[in-house]
Structure 1
Amino acid sequence: MSQHVIVKDYPYPRPLVWAALTDPQLVPLWTSAGQGGRPEGFVPKAGTRFRFVGKPFPGWDGIVLCEVLDAQAPSLLRYTWRNKVGDSPSLVTNRLEEVPGGTRLTWSHTGFRGAEGFIMARLLGSVRRKMLSRGLPAVLNDLDAGEHLQPGGALHPGA
C-alpha cells in the first residue's frame, strides 16, 4: 500500500488555514496550484458526500468522489477519495495544529492499492507538494482576518 504525508508550517492562525482548506470558494484557488478541483456539495460535516471536479485528461473524467468522515474545526478534516464508483476508497487527512508563529498542516493520503494505486499515489504526491508549497500559501497570503480575499490582492484583483 502506498501513501504520502506532507508537513508544512504556515505563518497564519489555524482558523485562517482551516478556512482556506474548507471554503468551497477558496479551495479551487489552491488545488493543483489554482488550476484544479472545485468541490461540489462540500460541507465540512461528517457524512457529507461531495465531488471534486477538475480538468479531465485521457483515462480520467476529472471527477473524484468523496465523503467526509470527520470534521473538527479548526483541527481535523478527513474524507474518502475514489476516482470511480467501484474503487476502494483511499483516505485524505488534514490535521492542523498550532505551532509557534502559526499553523502546522499535516496532510496525508493513504490507502492506495495495487499497481494503479501506486501510480496514482506518485502522481498525487507530486501535485500535492506543489499545491501545499505554492497554491495554499498564495491563498493564505491574500486572505484578510475575516477569511475573505482582500480587494486588489493577487487572487482577487480590483474587487
Structure 2
Amino acid sequence: MSNSAAENTRTLVIERTFAHSPEKLWRALTESSLVAEWLLKNDFEPIVGRKFRFHSQPMPQWDGAIDCEVLVVDPLKQLSYSWNALGLESVVLFTLIPAEGGTHLRMEHSGFRPDQQQAYGGAKYGWQNFLNNLERVLHGGVK
C-alpha cells in the first residue's frame, strides 16, 4: 500500500479500562473458546502467521466469514491480526497497559477507506458491543 493510500484510511480507536489483570484479559483475547464467547466463533490460535477465520451471521451476498492472519503476539502486551471481509482489508490491534486496579485496553481497527463509511460505522457499533461482551465474559469467571 502506498503512503498516500495509508494516509487516506481511518482508524477506529476504543479505549477501556477493565478491573482485571493483564493475564486474565490476555486469556480472554487469545483463547479460542473465550474469544468465541465475546467476539465471534473462530479457529484462532495466537501464533504469528496463523491464518484463521471468524464466523459471523451470514447475510445475503456474504457467507459470514472474516479471513484473518495473526500479525503480532507479544504476550500480555499486544495482539494484532488482519480482518478481511466484504472488501475491507484492515488490521485489529489490541494493546494492554497495566493500570491501577486492572488493565487498560486500547483497541485499534485500522484501514477503513473513505468509501467505507458504512463499514467504519458498523465497526464502531460492533466493537462497542464486543467489548461490552468481553466485560461480561471477564466477570463471568475467566480464571
User: TM-score normalized by structure 2?
Assistant: 0.88
Would you identify which runs of 4 or more consecutive aligned residues in structure 1 move more than 4 Å? none
Q: Distance in 1 between matches of 2:12 and 2:75?
A: 23
Q: Distance in 2 between matches of 1:101 and 1:88?
A: 36
Q: Distance in 1 between matches of 2:35 and 2:29?
A: 6
Q: 2:24 aligns with which of 16, 23, 38?
A: 16
Query: Relative to 1, partners in 2 of residues 1:88 and 1:29: Cα closer, same or farther, differing over 3 Å?
Result: closer
Shift of 1:59: 3.3
Q: Which residue of 2 aligns with 1:82?
A: 84
Q: Distance in 2 between matches of 1:131 and 1:78?
A: 16
After superposition, give the CA deviation of every residue in 1:54-101 in whole Å (9 maximum; x if it has no partner): 1112232210000011101111001111115xx462110000010111
Percent identity (aligned): 31
Residue ranges of structure 1 left out of the alignment (5+ in a row): 32-36, 148-159
Q: Which residue of 1 aligns with 2:98?
A: 98
Q: Distance in 2 between matches of 1:7 and 1:88?
A: 22
Q: Which residue of 1 aligns with 2:3?
A: none
Q: Which residue of 1 aligns with 2:124?
A: 125
Q: 2:59 aligns with which of 57, 61, 76?
A: 57
What letter is aligned with 1:89? E
Query: Relative to 1, partners in 2 of residues 1:59 and 1:114: Cα closer, same or farther, differing over 3 Å?
Result: farther
Q: Which residue of 1 aligns with 2:10?
A: 2
After superposition, give the CA deviation of every residue in 1:1-49 in whole Å (9 maximum; x if it has no partner): 2221000000000010011111110112112xxxxx2112x11111010
Q: Does the 8 A contact of 1:46 with 1:70 survive in 2?
A: yes
Q: Distance in 1 between matches of 2:68 and 2:129?
A: 22
Number of aligned positions between the proteins: 135
Q: Which residue of 2 aligns with 1:143?
A: 141
Residue ranges of structure 2 left out of the alignment (5+ in a row): 1-8
Query: Aligned with 2:16: secondary structure?
Result: strand
Q: Distance in 2 between matches of 1:106 and 1:119?
A: 22
Shift of 1:122: 0.9
What root-mean-square deviation, in Å, do the aligned CA atoms of Structure 1 and Structure 2 show? 1.4
Q: Which residue of 2 aligns with 1:150?
A: none
Query: Aligned with 2:42: secondary structure?
Result: strand
Q: Does the 8 A contact of 1:2 with 1:118 survive in 2?
A: no
User: TM-score normalized by structure 1?
Assistant: 0.80
